[in-house]
Amino acid sequence: MTTTAHDAAVQDFQMFIDGASTGATSGRTYESIDPYTGEPWARVPDADGTDVDRAVAAARAALAGPWAALTATQRGKLLHRLGDLIAREANRLGELETRDNGRLLREMAGQMAYLPEWYYYFAGLADKNEGSVIPSDKSNYLVYTRHEPVGVVAAIVPWNSPLLPLTWKLAPALAAGCTIVVKPSDYTPVSTLALADLVAEAGFPPGVVNVVTGWGPEVGKALAAHPDIDKIAFTGSTQVGRLIAQAAAGNLTRVTLELGGKSARLVFPDADLDAAANGVIAGVFAATGQTCMAGSRVVVHESVKDALVERIVARAQTIKIGNPMDPATEMGPVATDKQYATVLSHFASAREDGATIACGGKPVESLGGWFVEPTVLVGVTADAGGPRGDLRAGRRGHHVHR
């Protein structure tokens, strides 16, 4: 993924460390691929452990320096200002996310338009985080508690909605007085880098927020095992979450893990089947199955299975796939070449496990990018895919169980 040739069609972005835009110490870069075209559209720094050390040192200095000197009310004002700037740039941020991950622009734009609410909420909460005075059995003792920031936080965020899970980490951390080092997904770094520019514009002191990009596991490993990181907040796969927990254990670093699942829709005989089918369709296809809460399997009572499958298949076959920037598009591409190959491999393994493809199950090569037909699988057993890899949220098909 490393590139040295300049391509006028490819936009260049920089990391954000200690309040300034910067490249990787090594000078390396890599390209982000637009899932709609399958072609590179952006170029970002390919950092390593040295850059992680720079970012963590900047966050540590800010924690004990200018950031610590601000009152909670002043922190809240900065957060509110950041929310205003995100609202101003919501359309652009949505377009950047769509270029990076292929999600529908109407979905990403909606997320970006609502994103400021988190910053406004925690802006108001910043100076409401109060301690308490505790009664003592000794008259000459004053016993009280106060809340202090955990310290330097490492935020490692996923590719499917980069700024939303980042905001869930960033806004409360800043309200509490923490500083932060962000590692966006290798595949979708650009919107996070754009957000860093807004952090600078809002007036946050240097080092409070830092963003380090890198291809492969090196940056994430360095962050997870870094002795000067006080808390790790990770959203992503269960496999990577295990590795982060193991790396953090060496330093007894606090860890919060939001990992993958296998979300099931349960349909009973008394259900309104039209409503159930609509819910199934809305719960997975709009995001191309690429959310942690995607309803990627359906467990349905045998007596209504055929009727429900008929409704789901009929609607799935009408889904319009294409350019995620087009408001008329109902489903975009798979976000990465790796995920594209994984989805197609699941179709083969499902057949081997005895499942039937009721509709879809093939790539759409005519569109140019990483497109797969809306797919419905029936007759899938509860343990399907186990030996060949867990069938998690993120894959496209529905698993209709008897």
Write down the residue that tokens 């008929």 correspond to.
310
Instruction: Give the Cα separation of 118 and 173 in Å (integer).
Output: 12
**Residue 292 is a catalytic residue:** yes
User: Which of 31, 292, 359, 373 is the catalytic position?
Assistant: 292
Q: How far apart are CA 63 and CA 49, in angstroms?
A: 21
Give the three-class secondary structure for 172: helix
Which of 86, 241, 100, 79 shows the shortest CA–CA distance to 162? Answer: 100
Strand partners, 376: 359, 398
Of the candidates 25, 21, 13, 30, the residue with the CA atom closest to the CA atom of residue 54: 25
Q: What DSSP element (H or E) covers 124?
A: helix 116-125
Q: How far apart are CA 139 and CA 279, in angstroms?
A: 63
Using alpha carbons, select from 397, 375, 402 the residue that is nearest to residue 306: 402
Separation between Cα atoms, residue 29 and residue 11, nearest integer Å = 12
Q: Across 79-224, where does the E strand assignment appear?
A: 132-134, 143-145, 152-156, 179-183, 209-211
Q: How far apart are CA 335 and CA 34, in angstroms?
A: 8
> Residue 350 and residue 381: Cα distance in Å, rounded?
9
319, 140 in Cβ contact below 8 A?
Answer: no
User: Which residue is associated with the tokens 């598009």?
Assistant: 329
Phi-psi region of 21 (alpha: psi -120 to 50; beta: other; left: phi over 0): beta
Q: How many CB atoms lie within 10 A of CB 124?
A: 13
Instruction: For residue 63, give both structure tokens.
Output: 């924690």
Identify whether 258 is a catalytic site residue: yes
Would you call 220 exposed, middle or buried from its count of C-beta atoms within 10 A (0-12, 13-18, 19+)? buried
**Contact by Cβ (8 Å): 360, 375:** yes
Give me the amino acid identity at 221: K
**Tokens matching residue 230:** 């006080």
User: Which of 190, 164, 210 shows the shortest CA–CA distance to 29?
Assistant: 190
Per annotation, catalytic residue among 39, 89, 117, 258: 258
- Active-site positions? 258, 292
